[in-house]
Structure 1
């Protein structure tokens, strides 16, 4: 059976489970993200109840154990569950295969803009203050975050939106909004409303950069790797998680890297007026 987006064919009759998700739509994408978030928070709560997490947020980077159990394990579990979900729906090629809509050259700007603060954070980090095992665990954490969050929002959510017939402008905006709203869950960890608000706005811009990166490279894999490089270098340079403006390394370089958060949002807004087309339209005129 040909799928709704016309990109793959199934050789067997889809199950009721597959038919439900194949219809796509923004509310299915939102519901799936809420379920993802609930399970993620549940796993984190369970880890804490078992006494495996850090005593408080100040201890998160104190040892590889606190990084792994306090941060990496819940997101690792979610990544594995997402792989299982993609396999169960038969969307492996749609999520990990070639993008059905070609990108445009201007979209390479997103790749460059994401890489610049990564380099600045690497230069700003006080590497001597970290044990090498902590650094390696934080890098592993970044890979887990990049994989899970990109497969969820630029993979599963994008497939659902495209299957419902949304144009690429709506796909970009809605998937980026979904990505941003996921970070509102930081309220549950005790972050202030102001900090969470700034994070949500920034992550909308960053999510748009990831969408553009996926489009222009033709695959979700580069977006995963860019995301996987962003989070750990930011954590190591600032000494915190989702704490805009925090610094632990060279203040001037961290401040410069942080300014790109504003650039992401500005470019995201401009991109809303430039992106068009639909997944079923493979013509070179799609922008």
Structure 2
């Protein structure tokens, strides 16, 4: 009886891992996400309030939620097709160091301060609910892709954890360069890319020290909506008066960058590679 593992050519291709496959997949995801956004804009664009996307629940749903539903469905279908759900959510193969706890600590601190400092009276209750639910999709899609799929593919190709951390965070940061397509000023886009690179490193550290991908997904799912609602926009500074609690959370951005710089200096290690499945000979 043949006990060889039967592997499709599709799965075998992605199982080889490597940085260029990771970048290719990220590019394909962005094409699906942006393409889905164009379709949504054509169908429900009149529901989106461009100057204030958080004015109505319909604006949030068509402007943010529905494109993320499409992107999340594409990623979930891919992960299912290659059988990676179990390995992606398995315990981390490389343990984290004690200092890495700084990343989730300051992430949680900023989330709590912003959550308590949001001016809920300036939003419809349904806008808050839809935005918080949208955060779940942000956390799932961006973390599954960058801290899940990309990290796995880089580790499968034998890359060191420093390279895994840097390249996965770079892919995460470059995803946000797509904001330029919506008319965001180039300087703001560059600042956003720089910040998200540091933020991505903190998410990588969170995954390492907590031992599972689920925790960066949860923190990311809470971080983005509380940031959006506390500032009144996406990837922008708050305009006008704001709660002292929100102001207290503002330095968190620089703290993330500092943690990222430390990580770039001290992160070491390499995950143990799993043997590739070999297609059975007929």
Match of 1:154 in 2: 147
Equivalent residue number for residue 266 of structure 1:
258
Query: Which residue of structure 1 lines up, in the alignment, with residue 126 of structure 2?
Result: 133
Shift of 1:254: 3.2
CA distance in 2, matches of 1:215, 1:280: 14
Shift of 1:53: 5.5
Say if 1:88 and 1:250 are closer, same or farther in 2 by CA, change over 3 A.
same
For residues 44-63 of structure 1, the aligned pairs below 5 Å read 44-52=37-45, 54-63=47-56
Cα distance in 1 for residues equivalent to 2:196 and 2:46? 26
Of residues 186-195 and 101-110 in structure 1, the stretch that sits farther from structure 2 once superposed is 101-110
For residues 60-209 of structure 1, what are the structure 2 equivalents within 5 Å? 60-209=53-202
Contact 1:62–1:134 (Cα < 8 Å) also in 2: yes
Task: Give unmatched runs, 5+ long, in structure 2.
Answer: 274-282
Could you report, residue by residue, the CA deviation over 1:47-72 in whole angstroms, capped at 9, with x for unpaired residues?
11113464442241121111111101
**CA distances 1:180-216 after superposition (whole Å, capped 9, x unpaired):** 0000000001100111111101101110111011111
Could you tell me how far apart the structure 2 residues matched to 1:275 and 1:134 are? 40
1:253 Cα shift? 3.6
Provide closer, same or farther for how the CA distance between residues 227 and 11 of structure 1 changes in structure 2, counting only shifts above 3 A.
Answer: farther
CA distance in 1, matches of 2:65, 2:192: 20
Conservation of the 8 A alpha-carbon contact between 1:53 and 1:70: no
**Distance in 2 between the 1:140 and 1:156 partners?**
23
**For residues 192 and 84 of structure 1, what CA distance do their matches in structure 2 show?**
34
Moved more, 246-255 or 259-268: 246-255
Provide the rounded CA distance (Å) in 1 between the counterparts of 2:245 and 2:196. Answer: 20
Give CA-to-partner distance per residue, 1:248-279, whole Å, 9 cap, x none: 66254434323211211121011012211111
Q: Which residue number corresponds to residue 275 of structure 1?
A: 267
Q: Whole-Å Cα distance in 2 between the matches of residues 43 and 29 of structure 1?
A: 21
CA contact (8 A) 2:113 2:249 kept: yes
TM-score by length of 1: 0.90
2:248 is the counterpart of 1:246? no
Aligned residue for 2:17, secondary structure, equals coil
Kindly provide the CA deviation profile for residues 27-63 of structure 1, in whole angstroms up to 9, marking residues without a partner as x. Answer: 1111111111111111011111113464442241121
Aligned: 1:21 with 2:14: yes
Among 9, 26, 29, the alignment partner of 1:33 is: 26
1:251 and 1:54 map into 2 onto residues whose CA distance is 30
Query: What CA deviation, in whole Å up to 9, does each residue of 1:231-259 have, x standing for no partner?
Result: 0000110000111x224662544343232
User: How many Å separate the matches in 2 of 1:249 and 1:142?
Assistant: 25
My pick for the range that moved more, 146-155 or 111-120, is 111-120
Task: Say which is worse superposed, 265-274 or 223-232, in terms of deviation.
Answer: 265-274
> How far is 1:83 from its partner?
1.2
